[in-house]
Structure 1
Amino acid sequence: MRTDDDQWTITESVGVTALGVASSRAMETRRPDGLVEDPHAAAFLDAVRDEIDLPTEVDPRADPTDPASGLMSTYVGVRSRWFDEHLLDAARDGIDQVVILASGLDTRAQRLEWPAGTTVFEIDQADVVDFKDRVLTETEGSPEPAEGVRRIALRVDLRHDWPAALRDAGFDPGRPSAWLAEGLLPYLPAQAEIDLFDRIVELSAAGSRIAVEHLADAVDRLSDDELVATSSQRFGVDVRDLIMTDDRPDPRARLRDQGWKVEEQTAQEAGAGYGRPLEGPTAEAFASSVFFEARRP
């Protein structure tokens, strides 16, 4: 069970969810109609194969005993594409500081075509960052992105004083920044989520943006979904036990109250727009999640 200051490696607790997302991205990469291309995702799964065996090539929708995994693969593809596009739009508009919160096994620093001069800050627990860097070094020779792009990985828990670490690493709160909170909020206690957004606002100059995956009432649905429990058994952990369901304010409303301009789209709308509608037995739960971008004038 979760505690307020729990820690994990990549093969336990919340760390395992990063492997699940990497599995979905690996399968999406191999689809002829894939929405995301992540050439690094499969290597992370191969590195833990002796402990957790997750698919990288076989589409799990062909497995009738695991229908939720098939939907998750599509959902992750839609989600990844939506946030990829919004981060790159911010960078092309001249924002050269990008902060990926709870970066997990995300490889946007390496796989996206950032404008020269972009710095990508990644924040996650030390064991997770160390695992990612080790695998990328073993498979690619280095975890560094393309020439002209800087990646700065910060080994710090988001429930701790990460703003100080970010500033110390060269982040300039006086210049516009782009933030990403994807696959994060359901795993934070309510107060930690409130503090997270307060700190982002404090660090964000005029012209900054934040892109957020907000599950809203999907959290309650997923935490009660037996199909999710069945699907997560292959992880060796019940994902429902990792989700924090304590009441918290809607981040969209709080950002609007502080003057940010919010635009949003449901996951179902995003999937339909990409020609990949969310379908299957748990589609209703995932489809109710919201992707939004907030901009500070």
Structure 2
Amino acid sequence: MTTPQPLSAVSKTALAVARVRALESAAGSPLFTDPYAAAFVAASDEPIRPQHRPGPLATALMRQTVLRTRFYDDRLVGSGCDQVVVLAAGLDTRAYRLPWPAGVRLYELDLPPVFAFKHRVLAAEGAAPRCERTAVPADLLTPGWADRLVGAGFDPARPTAWLIEGLLVYLTAEEAATLLTTVGELSAPASRLALERGRSGKTVVDDPSVAHITSLWKGGLGTGTAGWLAAHGWSTEEHPLHAVAAHYGRPMANPSGTGFITALRTAPSAP
């Protein structure tokens, strides 16, 4: 029997996200329901309830995670694209829980150990995807991931809905720009992209309860993410977190200026 490879430190953050989704799913009047999130947490032998009281940043991150889950759910299902790509998919279960239009093909990319853990849990739960789903094991920090995606059936000539959820903050500015450049090269006109706006390092609160996560942050493109996209063939729209929160009936202050970006590919893909 092959011994499962351990998850990397960054990959383990997907368990924290699954824990938030599990808590929201069990709450009254949840913004979404993820029937598999609790199973991921249980399989990891980590409790759903945190052992220590969350600090201010931990609380803010949990609220942002809930809001971004529903925000991205709505953007992907309503994108009008029949080709969807989720980068650094982690323990995402959108292929299994969302009401996808007929004909949608969804690709997930992440590291092999993540998929091994994820597929083991989903198989135990008897989960079945609600669209055509293809898992593509790949390292997004290497140039080969684009070839792997195309080799799995992805068509760069078709408009695509891309999701980059919770990833760029763990990359350097150079790594983030390289990743987004490749996404642009794979994106036909009318493709759509959803991702976080990025935060200023000056707004990060010292919170020991999430130090195991924030210590991994490298910042990505920060608050310059939308500007970078606009300069590289995308028409962007920013969605401040407080506005998204109000839209979903969860009003909150947003002193850090965080939020989300949606973008439409306007320039043709590189040859």
Aligned partner letter, 1:33: S
* RMSD after superposition: 2.2
Pairing partner for 2:209 from 230, 245, 258: 230
Is residue 177 of structure 2 the alignment partner of residue 188 of structure 1? no
Give % identity.
Answer: 37
How far did residue 74 of structure 1 move?
2.2
Alpha-carbon distance between aligned partners in 2 of 1:177 and 1:162, rounded to the nearest angstrom:
16
**Normalization by structure 2: what TM-score?**
0.88
Alpha-carbon distance between aligned partners in 2 of 1:173 and 1:21, rounded to the nearest angstrom:
30
User: Which residue pairs with 2:226 in the alignment?
Assistant: 252
Alpha-carbon distance between aligned partners in 1 of 2:133 and 2:194, rounded to the nearest angstrom:
19
1:187-220: per-residue Cα shift (whole Å, max 9, x none)?
1122211111111111111110101112231x44
Is residue 89 of structure 2 the alignment partner of residue 87 of structure 1? no
CA shift in 2, pair 1:243/1:39, >3 Å: same
2:168–2:220 Cα contact (<8 Å) kept: no
Pairing partner for 2:129 from 140, 145, 163: 145
Aligned partner letter, 1:54: P
User: Which residue pairs with 2:269 in the alignment?
Assistant: none
Unmatched 5+ residue regions in structure 1? 1-7, 233-237
SS in 2 for 1:226: coil
Unmatched 5+ residue regions in structure 2? 267-271
User: Which residue pairs with 1:54 in the alignment?
Assistant: 47
After the TM superposition, which residues 54-133 of structure 1 pair with which residues of structure 2 at under 5 Å, given as runs? Answer: 54-55=47-48, 64=53, 66=55, 68-90=57-79, 93=80, 95-133=81-119
CA shift in 2, pair 1:191/1:248, >3 Å: farther
Is residue 264 of structure 2 the alignment partner of residue 289 of structure 1? no
Aligned partner letter, 2:38: A
Aligned partner letter, 2:108: E
**Normalization by structure 1: what TM-score?**
0.81
| Length, aligned pairs only | 261
How far did residue 137 of structure 1 move?
0.5
CA shift in 2, pair 1:133/1:173, >3 Å: same
How far did residue 230 of structure 1 move?
2.0
SS in 1 for 2:178: helix
